[in-house]
Amino acid sequence: MRVDAHHHVWDLAVRDLPWTRGSPVLHRTYTADDLRPALLRNAIDATVVVQTCAVAQETAELLALAADDPHTRAVVGWADLTGPALADRLAALREGPGGRALVGLRHPVTDEADPDWLDRSEVRRGLRAAADAGLVHDLLVRPDQLPAAVRAVRELPEVRFVLDHAGNPVTDPDAFAVWAGHMAALAVCPNVAVKLSGLVTRTSGDPVRALRPFTDVLLSALGPRRLMYGSDWPVCLLAAGYDEVLALAETLTAGLGTEEREAVFGTTAARWYGIGV
Q: In this predicted model, what pLDDT tens digit does every residue of 208-243 receive, in sequence order?
A: 999 999 999 999 999 999 999 999 999 999 999 999
For residue 234, whether the previous peptide bond is cis, meaning omega lies within 30 degrees of 0, is: yes
Interval 80-91 mean pLDDT: 95
The kind and range of the H/E element at 150 are: helix 146-155
pLDDT at position 173 is 84
Place 277 in a pLDDT band, splitting at 50, 70 and 90. Answer: low
151 vs 148: CA distance, rounded Å? 5
User: Quick one: which H or E segment has residue 102?
Assistant: strand 102-108
**Can you give the pTM of this predicted structure?**
0.97
Given a cut of 70, whether residue 125 has pLDDT beyond it is yes
Per-residue pLDDT reduced to its tens digit, 168-187: 998 888 899 999 999 999 99
Identify the pLDDT of residue 152.
98
What is the CA 54 to chain-centroid distance, rounded?
A: 15
Radius of gyration for the alpha carbons in the chain, expressed in angstroms and rounded: 17
For residue 162, report the phi and psi dihedrals to the nearest 5 degrees. Answer: -130, 125
Average pLDDT value for residue range 95-123 = 97
Output the pLDDT for position 276. Answer: 83
Cis peptide before 97 (omega within 30 of 0): no
pLDDT band at 205 (very low <50, low <70, confident <90, very high): confident
